[in-house]
Amino acid sequence: MDSEWRRYLIVRPEKGGFVELFRYAFLGRDFDRFVDDDDHSSSSSVDCNWSWRWVILVSILVRKFISFFAIPIYWTGFFLDFFLNLLSLNGASFFALLNNFIHGRVVIPDRGSQSFVSTIGHLDARLDLQTTNGNGAFQPHMGNRALMDLCIMSSKIAYENPKLIKNVVNHHWNMHFVDFYHCWNDFEKQMSTQVFILCDKLKDANLVLVSFRGTEPFDAHDWSTDFDYSWYQIPNVGKIHIGFLEALGLGNRNQPTTFYSNLQRKANYGSLFLGTDSDEDQPFVPEKTPAEKTAYDIVRSKLRSLLKEHKDAKFIVTGHSLGGALAILFPTVLVVHEEMEIMERLLGVYTFGQPRIGNRQLGRFMEPHLDRPVPKYFRVVYCNDIVPRLPYDDKTFLYKHFGQCLYYNSHYIEKNVKEEPNRNFFGMRFILSQHLNAVWELVRGLTMGYVEGAEYKEGWFRILVRIIGLALPGFSAHCPTDYVNSIRLGKESSIHMSSI
């Protein structure tokens, strides 16, 4: 294997306890225990550089903490989902539930059914699109508020089960639901990545939309990924977050050579328009079984088929949180694989609360494909959301955002900025303003229904999260509610976003 493809750094919190962590943090010892890299060329730098050790130390401590509580976090989410659905299906109040119980009419939630709503769905129950162009017709143009609304709502409902998503797309939005996919993550050894695809019409579609599911609120591994600093470097492309590569199905950190095997492959499947129905007869990774199909394999293959079927259609990719990271990583890998015929049909990428996926070199590599002839990649950030500030952006690890950033403050005023304020979140001078802003968001949440209308009224569960946000403002701000409000209530962008 080419030595240029052997550059990586993997942080492994599971390799030692707190004694070894103390020796690493303060004495610079036991580096090899916690960090794997290609040839330890960076070992001496990490051993002697306090900033390296500090960032890795924080990452390891946070991930150890999350891992320790992984099972309680899972069961908390499991029972909370059940309780919220039990309540909503029985009159949406404790008294109605009690009355149904007394009279033997309690409706038991059925997970996976069309009526079972996720925790995210209970935080924000809105399902319908908001048409903003006056005539009710959908027009797929970048910068069109109707398209932005479709993207944030698609990102939000991606957290739901397939039956609910299909019902919303087909009957609430009057669009065509293509399919929902559970995709294989070889590092986790399970189907832990989810994505769904829709078209704006069944026949002669103008738009194909791909929506990746984001960070699950009670999935410890998802949150641990956001605090991971491991990367893999693609020659002439840049460093990419390993956890996101794994979620897309492009490798396994326990076998770093798998990243080379998946990423160095190029487009050798024939033209998109040469008559092959799809690449199912020439799979991207032939050794995988059908049960182990990855998100990249599935979405790429289905896009080929849909773009051939709908001659005039373009496609857009979207996602919230982790889903946003996968949304921008997917076209990045298409470019790496020289899938330029597919990329020519890219309308754009909208992400919401997206973490950083790579370094500055990666941004420079993708700019020609996302900024010309007009911007195609917009990264929406709401106020103090912590996730867009992860992984850490400093002179050591060099994780950097790229693309156009549409930043909304707590008054939903939009600004086009190069980087969101307080880019690493933990600056001491921002602490007071973060908590004061959380107080304002709580007051705003209690009054939104009266000021903006019934659509914006926040339920008791969302208000409870607002209260928790008084202590953890960055996590409360990550909820899709404020992203939906930002798109629907925010002022028009000051930048020029032409149609394509």
Which long-range CB contacts under 8 A does 463-468 form with residues at least 24 apart? 465/123, 466/438, 466/441, 466/442, 467/442
Phi, psi angles (nearest 5°) of residue 432: -60, -45
Confidence of residue 442 (pLDDT cuts 50, 70, 90): very high
Confidence of residue 234 (pLDDT cuts 50, 70, 90): very high
Whether 478 is catalytic:
yes
Stronger pLDDT, 131 or 149, i.e. the higher one: 149
* pLDDT average, residue stretch 117-126: 95
In this predicted structure, the answer to whether residue 390 has a pLDDT above a threshold of 80 is yes
Predicted local distance difference test score (pLDDT) of residue 138 = 65
Residue of 122, 221, 320, 478 marked catalytic: 478
Residue of 88, 321, 476, 486 marked catalytic: 321
Least confident of 19-28, 159-168, 369-378: 19-28
* pLDDT average, residue stretch 166-176: 96
Dist. CA 324–CA 330, nearest whole Å: 10
Whether 385 is catalytic:
yes
- Provide the terminal-to-terminal Cα distance of the chain, rounded to the nearest Å: 41
Residue of 30, 81, 124, 385 marked catalytic: 385
pTM for the model stands at 0.90
Matching residue, tokens 């009159």: 91
In this predicted structure, the answer to whether residue 364 has a pLDDT above a threshold of 90 is yes
Predicted local distance difference test score (pLDDT) of residue 285 = 43
Predicted local distance difference test score (pLDDT) of residue 3 = 62
Domain positions in the chain are 1-68, 135-489
In this predicted structure, the answer to whether residue 249 has a pLDDT above a threshold of 80 is yes
Confidence of residue 135 (pLDDT cuts 50, 70, 90): very low
Tell whether domain 135-489 is in CATH 3.40.50.1820.
Answer: yes
In this predicted structure, the answer to whether residue 268 has a pLDDT above a threshold of 70 is no
* pLDDT average, residue stretch 112-137: 82
Stronger pLDDT, 49 or 415, i.e. the higher one: 415
Question: Positive or negative, the Cα torsion across 457, 463, 465, 466?
Answer: positive
Least confident of 91-105, 325-339, 443-457: 91-105
Whether 411 is catalytic:
no
Average pLDDT of the residues of the chain:
86
CB 156 within 8 A of CB 484: yes
Least confident of 119-128, 224-233, 342-351: 224-233
